[in-house]
Structure 1
Amino acid sequence: MEGYSSVILIIAVLSILLLKLWMKRKSGATRRMPPGPPAWPVVGNIFDLGTMPHQSLYQLRQKYGPVLWLKLGSVNTMVIQSAKAAADLFKNHDLTFSNRAVPDAMTVWSYNQGSLGFAPYGAYWRILRKICSTEFLVNKQLNKSIELREKCVDKLVHWIEEASAASRDQGGSGEVEPAHLLFLMSFNLVGNLMLSRDLLSVESKEGEDFFRAVNRVMQRAGKPNLADFFPLLKWIDPQSVRRKMKKDLGTAIDIVASFVQDRVQENTAGSHKVKKDFLDMLLEYRGEGKEGPRIISQKNITFIIVEMFVAGSETTSVTVEWALSELIRSPQCMKKAKDELERVIGARRKIKESDIDKLPYLQAVVKETLRLHPAVPLLVPRCSMEDANYMDYFIPVNTQVFVNAWAIGRDSDAWEDPLCFNPQRFLGSSIDYKGHDFEFIPFGSGRRICIGMDLAHRVVHLSLATLLWSFDWELDVSVSLETLDMTERMGITLRKLVPLRAIPQKRELCVDH
């Protein structure tokens, strides 16, 4: 009997050990992380990012595949680099990855808590998103501001003429830097949409101070920061990024806060006569969350206005500069775009926003530009809100997620001859950048897709069409089509390292509308 009991005991112990081994193997299979390069002690894979992270990550895809795992300091990071992987993320796991991975620089003044782009996923973000998408950045409202956008683009043409003439007066060739003037135009356009005023003019020192502060905010936001890789360093702020951002963002916030307070007082006194703008709409929801639908504090209204300037001013000028550069170095594409304008516009008149829908080749040029040069190449980082099983990989909570839109636009599984600038590929194609075609997501997809996409669509097309219709663009004799520098410069957006400089030859147009 004792021998029988010993056998039972041995069998039981072996069974338990085998069960534990099986469970361990099963757990290991379900907790398999995506592949990635070996990580160094402490620093992890920081050095694998290089100076141009979107390009370095794209190169790593060749060895490790479209889903990449990195350890950036102490931060778990997943990188998505193919249309198939993006489709799985946005279609099947969008909610799980709807939080934001917020850079330390954007947490000063609690800015991330009040802004739309960086706010954590939740009730406040959903209500704010609904307000923006249904009451302002919707076609019905955008149609009411067509005249305003056309006025701002007309002013851009005037600025280009003045800058070219000034260059010639100083003995130059008449070269101008379109990106700078495009940025100023976009800044004033946002000012008119948000606040019903031109902020950049000879009379407005306050507007100029705000412009410079916003410029510095964008530079700070795009600067690599050790505190983002090692959260324990946040209180030390080793590169003084947080300290400098606090000053610059504070300047922008103070100026906008004064605009907001002035409008509150005007509305109280009944003296505000200008047609309703975005600030007026936000003020209708002003409150502290205790009085029905009034849920946006005056402080957060200020943050939202600042965010619109930061996001809206930069992306337009970046995209149009890349498009103009690609067309200049591709004379055949430039000719096709110009010929289309000649056919559609007919009489020598100014471009109108209503002409955009009749210009399929111009739209193809913009799409091809966004495919090769997305304004935000890694999109805005997301963060997992819980553990997830994504494409048979275990992704732990609080994992930072980069979606490499730059790499996806070069995905050879989705695009033929992906490195070639060829607008023709979009003619007759239903592929669009509205977030449903995952091989082409320059504005993102899912719940966090860029809310300003429709406005950007209108401004980019109107600006580019006007530049092509109003001027014939030439390079200085010292630069050839082959030597035109197309090197990228990484920051909060993907700019040209060497800004495009070109000579605008004015075309004579009549002024009738």
Structure 2
Amino acid sequence: MPFALQTISSFYPLQEKNMTSDPSQALIFSIAIVAISWIAWMIKKSIKGNTSPLPPGPRGLPLIGNLPFLEPELHRYYAKLSAIYGPIFKLRLGNKLCVVLSSPSMAKEVLKDHDTTFANHDMQAAALLTATYGGSDIVLSPYGPEWRMLRRVCIQELLNTASLDAGRVHRRLRVHQTLSEVYAKIETPVDVGEKITQTIFNTMTSTLWGGTLKGNEETSVASEFRHIMLEIGELITQPNISDLFPLLARFDIQGVQRKAKNLMSWFDRIFESILDQRMKMNAEVGEANHDIGMKQNKDFLDILLNLKNKEDPKTPLTMTHIKALLLDMVAGGVDTTSTTLEWAMAEMMHKPEIMKKAQEELESVVGKDKILEDSHCAELHYLEAVVKEALRLHPPNVFLIPHSAIESCVVGGYTIPKNTAIFVNLWEIQRDPSLWDNPSEFIPERFLSSATAGNKWDYRGNDFRYFPFGSGRRICPGISLAERSLKYVLGSLLHSFDWKLPTGTKIDLADKFGQVIKIANPVVAIPTPRLSNPKLYDLLLKEEP
């Protein structure tokens, strides 16, 4: 019996005496019962006819849902569940409903067909505090005017072709600095991942704020960065009671918010120092030019400060926005790019014939009597295939950044309720044997053969078999910068040096789950010079960063 009828029938006996004494009241009451019954029946019929069920999924426990059954390697655990429940299934994590997608068609429905409905990213307390200045960045800012303003700043002002071309000088200087440091350690073991992270960090920060940090201060910041990012990754990926049971968020039971604020203070201190120094420098320049925009060789920070001075009253770019954008690029860009490069080096160390092919291409395009320049990279097709294969087999963000349903929507014939968190298992899609031949093997040639057949397999998110940078409105805005950095840094390391494993060691390709999927054990290799003219290395040592 519908709830309305139950309420009326329970109320009716109490009024029976009064209503029977007044026939008109009884008639009205009877008509009301019939009307409510008919309306309830129509609503019930409508729900049955038009509402799709929730996706299937494993049964959980009361209150805590599926939390006790999660496995540490979530990307593999979700792949096992998709084999049982299909390419779309649900999990309840406390009060949080999550839906996992693991096929190109399901990903396309969410990221392209209904991209406006899923245009928000799911915000967790730890991520919100550690990576976004309270959601003021381009990653977690809700879809709307503020996000569009931030997106416009990134795409049109910071990451356009002219700005990226202007950053070549910074990339060149920092990569050459790394090559000189490696040359100083020839025939001795080098932690490849640490060296790559330092290179990408220095390249990125030079592009962002030039030489604002110098000497020991820059070295200290670079060495601390990797450790801070590891702590942030662990903090973001651990289950947080505040996220799963929002009513308990105020108590911060696990201390996640407290830890997040401590980590955030490190970034804030660095950014405040950089901003203070740059504004003093620009004030001195402004006395002569009266405009930051007249400064030569502008870096990203100059562009941002100039935009702030031209505030749009409707959606102004604030100092908090600037710090949040800098953090996005440093924290997001450095960690994902360096991780991809370490995986590429590890796979080539595991299959030396691939490294040899890449080096032969470099010899053909550049020659052994020159240092690789950024301008050579457009001709390095096999090297590009190596990078693409690394991003296929080891996408750094295996679930992209979880999306959130702005409103209820039907996907794959199932209802996705409002505020549901959406996880796209990119790791599973890009290893699906129905989509890829020998999917667990590192085979760069697959991207060369597909290019010949007319499929470029680019990074633009149009083919939902391969979209390592995401797709739709919230696709990564830094694709162009990442693409340039990946090829240039990897090519420079391969062109200037041969790399071999220390005697008695083997490459371990096991991964470690986290916010970014890293190789479990560091890649340690011994470099030997490849260039025909030793004086080229001497010139690198004399360059000033």
TM-score by length of 1: 0.89
Q: Secondary structure at the match of 1:79?
A: strand
- Asked whether the 8 Å contact 2:186–2:529 carries over to 1, the reply is no
- Asked whether the 8 Å contact 1:48–1:56 carries over to 2, the reply is no
What corresponds to 1:91 in structure 2? 112
Identity %: 34
- Asked whether the 8 Å contact 1:285–1:295 carries over to 2, the reply is no
Tell whether 2:384 aligns with 1:363.
yes
What corresponds to 2:206 in structure 1? 192
What corresponds to 2:515 in structure 1? 492
1:456-513 CA distance string (max 9 Å, x none): 1111111111111111111122224xxx211111222110111111111222343399
The Cα shift of 1:246 comes to 0.2
The Cα shift of 1:292 comes to 4.2
Alignment RMSD, CA only?
2.8
1:349-397 CA distance string (max 9 Å, x none): 1111122221111111111110110011111111111111112211111
- Asked whether the 8 Å contact 2:98–2:420 carries over to 1, the reply is yes
- Asked whether the 8 Å contact 2:229–2:335 carries over to 1, the reply is no
What corresponds to 1:253 in structure 2? 268
Paired AA for residue 23 in structure 1: S
- Asked whether the 8 Å contact 1:388–1:394 carries over to 2, the reply is yes
Paired AA for residue 154 in structure 2: C
Deviates more, 1:116-125 or 1:346-355: 346-355
Tell whether 2:405 aligns with 1:379.
no
Q: 2:82 aligns with which of 48, 56, 61?
A: 61
- Asked whether the 8 Å contact 2:54–2:414 carries over to 1, the reply is yes
The Cα shift of 1:285 comes to 2.6
CA distance in 1, matches of 2:40, 2:319: 62
- Asked whether the 8 Å contact 1:222–1:493 carries over to 2, the reply is no
- Asked whether the 8 Å contact 1:100–1:118 carries over to 2, the reply is yes
CA distance in 2, matches of 1:20, 1:128: 44
CA distance in 2, matches of 1:104, 1:405: 24
CA distance in 2, matches of 1:208, 1:428: 39
What corresponds to 1:332 in structure 2? 353
User: Structure 1 residues 287, 350: closer, same or farther in 2, change over 3 A?
Assistant: closer
The Cα shift of 1:205 comes to 7.3
What corresponds to 1:126 in structure 2? 148
- Asked whether the 8 Å contact 2:370–2:531 carries over to 1, the reply is no
The Cα shift of 1:287 comes to 6.5
Q: 1:504 aligns with which of 527, 531, 536?
A: 527
What corresponds to 1:445 in structure 2? 471
- Correspondence 1:85-484 to 2 at 5 A: 85-108=106-129, 111-164=133-186, 174-197=188-211, 199=213, 201-204=215-218, 207=221, 211=225, 213=228, 216-270=231-285, 275-286=297-308, 291-292=312-313, 295-429=316-450, 430=455, 431-480=457-506, 484=507
1:263-284 CA distance string (max 9 Å, x none): 2233233268662111111112
What corresponds to 2:61 in structure 1? 40
CA distance in 2, matches of 1:386, 1:444: 21
Paired AA for residue 255 in structure 2: S
CA distance in 1, matches of 2:321, 2:280: 18
CA distance in 1, matches of 2:78, 2:46: 35
What corresponds to 1:168 in structure 2? none
Paired AA for residue 161 in structure 2: N
CA distance in 2, matches of 1:443, 1:186: 18
CA distance in 2, matches of 1:128, 1:58: 35
CA distance in 2, matches of 1:135, 1:124: 16
Q: Secondary structure at the match of 2:81?
A: helix
User: Structure 1 residues 210, 118: closer, same or farther in 2, change over 3 A?
Assistant: farther
Tell whether 2:101 aligns with 1:75.
no
Q: Secondary structure at the match of 2:134?
A: helix
1:94-121 CA distance string (max 9 Å, x none): 1100111112013338713211111111
CA distance in 2, matches of 1:17, 1:446: 40
The gaps in structure 1 that reach 5 residues or longer are: 1-8, 166-173
- Asked whether the 8 Å contact 1:405–1:442 carries over to 2, the reply is yes
Paired AA for residue 308 in structure 1: M
Deviates more, 1:111-120 or 1:446-455: 111-120
Paired AA for residue 156 in structure 2: T
Structure with larger Rg: 2
1:410-452 CA distance string (max 9 Å, x none): 1223212212211111114222222111111111001111111
CA distance in 2, matches of 1:213, 1:48: 29
Runs of 4+ in 1 over 4 A off after TM superposition: 11-21, 203-206, 212-215, 271-274, 291-294
- Asked whether the 8 Å contact 1:376–1:493 carries over to 2, the reply is yes
The Cα shift of 1:21 comes to 5.7
- Asked whether the 8 Å contact 1:106–1:221 carries over to 2, the reply is yes
Deviates more, 1:410-419 or 1:18-27: 18-27
CA distance in 1, matches of 2:68, 2:375: 48
CA distance in 2, matches of 1:36, 1:193: 46
The Cα shift of 1:232 comes to 2.5
User: Structure 1 residues 209, 475: closer, same or farther in 2, change over 3 A?
Assistant: closer
User: Structure 1 residues 509, 243: closer, same or farther in 2, change over 3 A?
Assistant: farther
Alignment size in residue pairs: 493
User: Structure 1 residues 354, 48: closer, same or farther in 2, change over 3 A?
Assistant: farther
Paired AA for residue 256 in structure 2: V
User: Structure 1 residues 203, 124: closer, same or farther in 2, change over 3 A?
Assistant: closer
The gaps in structure 2 that reach 5 residues or longer are: 1-30, 287-291, 541-545
